[in-house]
Amino acid sequence: MASSVLSPFKPVQVASAPKPQKEARLRTLYARLGELKQTRNAVILAHLYERLDVQNIADHVGDSLGLSRQAAQTSADVILFCGVHFMAETAKLLSPDKKVFLGNANAGCPMADMITRQQLIAFKAQHPGVPVVAYVNTSAEVKAESDVCCTSANATGVVRALCQQHGVDRVLFVPDKNLGNYVQSQCPDIELINWDGFCPTHMRMHLEDVEALKKQYPQAMILAHPECNDDIKAVADVIGSTTVIRQTAMASDKRVFIVCTEDGVRARLAQDCPDKLFFTPTQACAVCPNMKLTRLENMIATLEHLPEADEIVIPDAIAEPARQTLALMMAIDS
- Provide the binding-site residues for ligand SF4, judged by CB under 6 A: 49, 84, 109-111, 137, 199-201, 262, 288, 290-291
Nearest residue (CB) to ligand 13P, 37 versus 266: 266
Residues of this chain, 175-204, that bind ligand 13P according to CB under 6 A: 199
Q: Taking CB under 6 A as the rule, which mask of x and - marks residues 234-253 in contact with ligand 13P?
A: -------xx-----------
* Nearest-angstrom CA–CA distance, 30 and 56: 10
The answer to whether 138 contacts ligand 13P (rule: CB under 6 A) is no
Shortest Å, Cβ 213 to ligand SF4:
20
For ligand 13P, the closer CB: 36 or 270 = 270
Q: In this structure, which amino acid lies at residue 259?
A: V
**Residue 110 interacting entry, from ligand SF4, ligand 13P, none, C-beta within 5 to 8 Å by type:** ligand SF4
Q: State yes or no: residue 64 binds ligand 13P (CB under 6 A).
A: yes
Closer residue to ligand SF4, CB minimum distance, 102 or 163:
102
**Beta 78-82 vs 221-224: how paired, if at all?**
unpaired
CA 307 and chain centroid, separation: 25
d(CA 160, CA 253): 33
Which partner, ligand SF4, ligand 13P, none, binds residue 64 by CB below 5 to 8 Å per kind? ligand 13P
Q: Give residues with Cβ within 8 angstroms of 326, minimum separation 6.
A: 68, 90, 93, 94, 143, 149
146 binds ligand 13P (CB under 6 A): no
Binding site partner of 229, from ligand SF4, ligand 13P, none, Cβ cut-off 5-8 A by kind: none
Residue 262 CA to residue 167 CA, distance in Å, equals: 37
Name the residue nearer to ligand SF4 (CB basis): 205 or 291: 291
Look at residue 102 and give its three-state secondary structure.
strand
Q: Which stretch binds ligand 13P (CB under 6 A): 58-66, 94-102, 116-124, 184-192?
A: 58-66
Does the protein bind ligand 13P through residue 302 (CB under 6 A)? no
Q: Is 151 in the site for ligand 13P (CB under 6 A)?
A: yes
Q: Which is nearer to ligand 13P, 63 or 263 (CB)?
A: 63
Residues in binding contact with ligand 13P, number by CB under 6 A: 13
What phi-psi label fits residue 168: left (phi over 0), alpha (psi between -120 and 50 degrees) or beta? beta
Least CB distance to ligand SF4 at residue 161 (A): 23
In the sheet with 238-239, reading across from the earlier edge strand, the strands are 238-239, 221-224, 256-260, 277-279
CA separation, residue 150 to residues 287, 326, 332 (Å): 24, 8, 10
If the CB atoms of residues 36 and 326 are measured against ligand 13P, the closer one turns out to be 326
DSSP at 45: E
Q: Is 68 in the site for ligand 13P (CB under 6 A)?
A: no
Whose CA is closest to 53, among 292, 305, 310, 273? Answer: 292
Minimum Å gap between C-beta 61 and ligand 13P is: 10
Q: Do residues 49 and 264 lie in contact, with contact meaning Cβ atoms separated by under 8 Å?
A: yes
Which option in ligand 13P, ligand SF4, none does residue 115 bind, with CB closer than 5 to 8 A by kind? none
Nearer to ligand SF4, 74 or 241 (CB): 241
Residues 213-232 that bind ligand 13P (CB under 6 A): 225, 227
Q: Are 233 and 219 in contact (CB under 8 A)?
A: no
> Which of 98, 97, 71, 96 has the alpha carbon at shortest distance from 83?
71
Residue 121 to residue 289: CA distance in whole angstroms = 30
Residues making contact with ligand 13P (CB under 6 A) = 63-65, 109, 137, 151-153, 199, 225, 227, 241-242
